[in-house]
Amino acid sequence: MDKKKKIALVAHDNRKKDLVEWVQFNADKLISHTLICTGTTGKLVEETLIKKLDLSKIDVVKLKSGPLGGDQQLGALIAEGKIDVMIFLWDPMEAQPHDVDVKALLRIGAVYNIPMACNRSTADFMISSDLFEEKYDPILKDYSVYLKRNVTV
């Protein structure tokens, strides 16, 4: 993980306001990193940073909407080592039509040991950590035994 992080930003509809407020508050730190977002969240993040930092343009990578495959795109990026940190403000009070995708995304983030924040408090702790602005080598679990297991059909 380099000093310049590849940060995934995701929020369910009922949490987009929270994420926009968090992005606005942390704009000065976020601008120096690569931001990857799902669907509408990406548009909102881009608009928020342009307005807050008085920019004419900013490059925010925008994937598909979560229910349309954006969560799966993000999971693939994590598996490819192209995401360092994920802020995913999900709505714990409302079932999502793509709950299985949400669970799969959180699972793949855990498998690849990326820092994940699912609420603003954790996101605050993460972005204020000294490690956020430094090179960091996370310890990855060795799955070679799993990959070499004997599978019979």
Ranges assigned E (strand) in 69-123: 85-89, 116-117
pTM, full prediction? 0.91
pLDDT value of position 1: 87
Q: Which of 59, 67, 61, 56 shows the shortest CA–CA distance to 95?
A: 67
pLDDT value of position 66: 84
Pick the CATH number of 6-147 from 3.40.50.300, 3.30.1180.10, 3.90.1170.40, 3.40.50.1380: 3.40.50.1380
Q: Which of 54, 71, 101, 142 is an active site residue?
A: 71
Q: Average pLDDT, stretch 128-142?
A: 92
Catalytic residue list contains 71? yes
Length of the chain counted residue by residue: 153
70-89 core/surface letters (b: 16 or more CB in 10 A; e: else): bbbbbbebbeeeebbbbbbb
Question: pLDDT, tens digit, for every residue of 4-23?
Answer: 999 999 998 899 999 999 99
